[in-house]
Structure 1
Amino acid sequence: MTTPNSNAYAQEHYSGLEVDTRQSPLSSAGGWNADDLTKFRLADQNPSSAPQVHNPDLPEVAPYYMPRAVDAAHGNGHGNGTGYGQTYYAPKENPDSPEVTEIHEEKRPKLICGMKRKMFWIVLAIAIVVVIAAGVGGGVAGSAAAANSSQSDSPSSGSGSGSGSGSGSGSGDSSGDSSGGSGSSGDTNNSTDTGVILPATNIGSLNFTDQYGWENSMVFFQLRNKKVWQSYWNASTNVWTSADAKVLDTVKEGTPISNSLLWHSKTSRDARIYYLNEDNKVMGQINGNPAYGATWDQSGVSDTYTAASTSQLLSNGQYTNDSYLDNLVVYQDSGSVIRVIRRIGSGATDWQVNGIDTGFGTPALGTSMSLIPIQTIETNKTMRLFYISTAGAIIGLTVFSNNNTWIGETLPATVATNSSLAAFSYGYDTDLTMHVLATQEGKAPILTTYSGGEWTNQGEIAAMSGDDMPTKIAANLAGRVYGVVERNATKVEIVGWKWTNGTTYEKIGVVDVST
């Protein structure tokens, strides 16, 4: 055990720069003495500001404080913010001086595209969601458009001109191979305008290629309010558009409807509508810009010739530059005679009427009729007219442009006298195909074809059977057939078919009708 030294002085902390006032135990050994110390004592002065004693022969002592060990029981030694870690700290030199606080410069947030990072990612996420939603929406719209397009009338082979139907005829000037319609492709009762079409309506159709190169197909029919209406299909939109045919006077309910074109050039033609008024007078309207123009002018043939109350109508202008040119209208009088009104001059009243010889077979009263052109590069042009005799035979008449004579023949088909006829031709006289369709009561229409110089009865058309059996039909020279189909006692729809090849037809849908 160590014995305490009573002569030892109390330990004090001091700086190497202070003047020591203690009695040095070494003074007697030749060190500093008391007299020397009194020379350098600085009274009432803070030791920290005492002057340094500098001896150049001695090493310089740097001022500093030795760190003090922290007593764990009295708190943390680095709470004064001196920056010392662990368990040592330097005590404040002047306890009364203000505490120095370390100021940290606030970090500026990093920006992306001028926005805070968080905001940028939020905006980016929203943009991605919008793009995805737009893509999904576009896909749905594209699917819907594709579905609608699949129900629409797509291009198919045909001579590109119009043709006659049961209650009239139509023609066009195209040599292309497309035209037709769109709409619902089923046999349901979901027509857009339920019941607006007159159940007893007759029907007409024509087609042409317009000045922009687009194929057009037009269908004419009567509404319940007795207006003559049109729905036309254009290949540029692939949809049907409906419009008033602008028949201004009083139209007979159940009027026959005939349509034809007068060809002027590849980019210009007139469209015609012929019908009966309530006095059974033959009436006509002409449109110089079919499908694009809404102006219809009255034909010079109007309100002059009286037809039988059951008469159907036909008409012709010129379908193409390779077809028969003759401005005429065909009707049946009360004596069952089929009469032809022919334009013979340039004046509005320059018309004359002649009857057709009935020696080929007496026409049934109210017989359906169809008139089609035969394309040829020969100077002598021809047309074919079909009607039903009192015996139910389908009679075909050929008229030549050089002498206006008619030659008749009987087709190998027998139908009811109230059947509806529609016909169209395809090709030129050197390679001519003709189709004649006739409706049947409670059955699908029958087809009689001409090819290779012979007529053949092809039997019923399968695509027009079942719920889609038409009661009235019309055709145009694009090989399109349109029919009035009864859905119930008060509702009818107009259904379209296209000739694909041989004797095969394919349903293309229901014609859209809006009023």
Structure 2
Amino acid sequence: MNSSMDRYEYSTLEVDTEAQNRHLEESARAAQAPEVNQNATEHYNYPEVVAGGAPKAGIDPTLPEPIQTPEKEVFGAGAAGAAAASPTICGIKRKFFWALVIGAVVIVVGIVVGVTAGVVTSRKSSSNSSSSSDDSTDTTVNGTALYANTSLATANFTDGLGNENYLVVYQLNNKAIYMSAWNSSNKNWVVSPIVDGKTNNLGFDSVRKGTALSLDVFAYNDSARDIHVYWQLPDSGGLSTIKALTYNAGKGVSTQSTMPAANWVDSAAANNYISTAGSSLVSYGKACDLCNQYTYLYWQASGGIKAASYQNDSSGWDSDNSVISAGISAPAENSSLAQAYVAAATVDGHRSMNIFYRATTSALSQIVNGDGMYVGAYPGRDIGAGTTIAAFSTGFNETSSNITDHLGFQVLTMDPTADDGVQLTYYKGSTWTAATNEVSSLSDCKELGTMVANHARRVYCLVSSGSGVDIVEYAWQGDPNDTSTYSNYTKIGTVGITAS
């Protein structure tokens, strides 16, 4: 049958005798059945004649026919009814019609299933990407290895025996937080757990993957001190609650052996302060008799940079809405924060802490806290988004004649948008200077872009290694009174981080 007639099927039954043919013709005329227009099978603008004499409207061959109530088409009638028509639906043989219907249903179901699976996959991918700032533990990597994107925190102190102590805190792949400590008496790194998922009632779900970290030491006297550590809980709506622990509560700290995780106790600062998820954390603890006597914590919130301070148990923790006041540049979103304190008093009695950050104007900016009075300064360098900042003091804000290393700062920056390595901005006497040359001795640090510094003028950064990532220690070798030596650093070695 010609394909143009597929939509209009007729009976192909042949009658063998001439008499029967004449009888059928006479019976049809007697019944006044309408004549079928054979041209209707070739020209679709003609109406098709259906049983009962009701014509159909012209049909577009490119569109499917509407579904009709099944009925038999009759092309001849008579007493014998010998030419009974084949059963059809919508002009299509019944078996072929239902085969088409079933095929169409299968196709539609397949499309629905495919689209649904695609939507579910898309939503899952979207969900995974939205939680990338707080990754789940990757079971394919060594959970006790150093997390390649870990933040770092560092502090130092001199103990009652005159030994120098350097502390570095970091995160492992499984979200655990550990601390490595170096004591000049035994000259090796001792690794201690802070959050190991087993003690302190703290599981790994209480730590944000890629959390900011901060560390400080509060000295009661030469033999008694606290260590404070701060990190962030997992994100909630773009915000992270700050968690805090204190080691030993003033009972004394020894870095010559592993410090048990059970000795870290909840700090009153825990769970009381909310940072933006991408905020850095910096903190300070009383370091000497002439230093600021409080404990401070700084973080970034939607209103700027906030501070919380602790004087003693009776006064507890107190927080400021923001240390950004009129005349001080607001911080850029997710700015790096660095803190450097000065260990002596100025003539007017102010003991200063100094916070460095990137402002919304792209300026490297400084906030100076002297007895709670915050003032701002511009050190003279502009930096791009994502710039890492590390800082330490190179002198004292004291005018006494017996002080030779007068007030000074080293501020190190790594700007990923400039890709110009580690840059130095320094303060000597009363002037800020933005050095123009890269600090080449710290060039290994620029690839991963993570760096911190402590008051002992030690710098720690992440460096790629054959085994993954290392924390590498550098020492400043400069003379505070000779600016030509300000870029002199020497590599000390790799920090021991093997977790037990």
TM normalised by structure 2 equals 0.60
Q: CA deviation at 1:240?
A: 1.2
Q: Hey, what's the Cα distance between the residues in 2 that align with 1:195 and 1:420?
A: 26
Describe the shift of the 1:278–1:241 C-alpha distance in structure 2 as closer, same or farther (beyond 3 A). same
- 5+ residue gaps, structure 1: 1-192
Question: What do residues 248-279 of structure 1 show as CA deviations (whole Å, max 9, x unaligned)?
Answer: 43111111111111111122211110111114
* Superposition deviation, residue 222 in structure 1: 0.4
Deviation, structure 1 residue 372: 1.6
Identity score, percent: 25
- Mapped pair 1:420 → 2:397: no
1:150-179 CA distance string (max 9 Å, x none)? xxxxxxxxxxxxxxxxxxxxxxxxxxxxxx
Q: What are the superposed Cα offsets for residues 280-314 of structure 1, whole Å, 9 maximum, x if unpaired? A: 11111111334254311111011122111111111
Does the aligned pair in 2 maintain the 1:284–1:301 contact within 8 Å? yes
Cα distance in 1, alignment partners of residues 285 and 186 from structure 2? 28
- Please say which structure displays the higher CA radius of gyration: 1
After superposition, the CA RMSD in angstroms is 2.3
The letter for the 2-side match of 1:224 is: N
Structure 1 residue 393 and structure 2 residue 342: aligned? no
Q: Measured at CA, do residues 384 and 467 of structure 1 come closer, stay the same or move farther in structure 2, by a change above 3 Å? A: closer
What are structure 2's unaligned runs of at least 5 residues?
A: 1-141, 400-405, 479-484
Does residue 208 (structure 1) correspond to residue 157 (structure 2)? The answer is yes
Aligned residue for 1:337?
A: 304
Deviation at 1:452?
2.0
Q: Structure 1 CA distance, aligned partners of 2:232 and 2:492?
A: 31
The answer as to 2:237 corresponding to 1:253 is no
Structure 2 CA distance for aligned equivalents of residues 454 and 468 of structure 1? 27
* Alignment counterpart, residue 281 of structure 2, candidates 307, 313, 324: 313
Is 1:362 the counterpart of 2:312? The answer is no
Q: How does 1:373-388 map onto structure 2 within 5 Å?
A: 373-378=341-346, 379-388=349-358
Do the aligned partners of residues 426 and 194 (structure 1) sit closer, same or farther apart at CA in structure 2, a change above 3 Å counting? farther
Alpha-carbon separation, structure 2, partners of 1:195 and 1:296 = 20
Deviations 1:36-87 (A, max 9, x none): xxxxxxxxxxxxxxxxxxxxxxxxxxxxxxxxxxxxxxxxxxxxxxxxxxxx
SS in 2 for 1:253: coil
Mapped to 1, the partners of 2:272 and 2:457 lie a distance apart of 34
Match of 1:493?
A: 470
Report matched runs for 1:78-97 at 5 Å.
none
- 1:59-458 aligned at under 5 Å gives the runs 196-246=145-195, 248=200, 249=202, 250-279=206-235, 280-288=240-248, 289-290=252-253, 291=255, 293-294=259-260, 295-333=263-301, 335=302, 337-343=304-310, 346-347=313-314, 350-357=317-324, 359-378=327-346, 379-401=349-371, 404-429=372-397, 430=399, 431-441=406-416, 442-458=419-435
CA offset digits 1:164-213 (Å, max 9, x no partner): xxxxxxxxxxxxxxxxxxxxxxxxxxxxx998111110001111112332
Please tell me whether the aligned partners of residues 439 and 470 of structure 1 are also in contact (alpha carbons under 8 angstroms).
Answer: no
CA contact (8 A) 1:220 1:230 kept: yes
* Aligned equivalents of 2:299, 2:440: Cα separation in 1: 32
Give the CA deviation at 1:470. 4.8
Are the equivalent residues in 1 in contact too, given 2:219–2:288 (CA < 8 A)? yes
2:351 maps to a residue whose letter is K
Within the candidate set 440, 449, 465, 1:462 is matched to 440
| Separation of aligned partners in 2, 1:314 and 1:408 | 17
The 1-side partners of 2:208 and 2:143 are apart by 22
In structure 2, the partner of 1:514 is: 498
TM-score by length of 1: 0.58
In 1: Cα distance, 2:395 partner to 2:210 partner: 34
Q: Could you list the runs of 4 or more consecutive aligned residues of structure 1 that deviate by over 6 angstroms after TM superposition? A: none
Change (3 A) 1:425 1:484: same
In 1: Cα distance, 2:445 partner to 2:394 partner? 29
Distance 1:468 1:241 in 2: 27
Whether the 8 Å contact between 1:437 and 1:445 is mirrored in structure 2 is yes
Q: CA deviation at 1:228?
A: 0.9
Offset of residue 374 of structure 1 = 1.2
Amino acid at match of 2:210: G
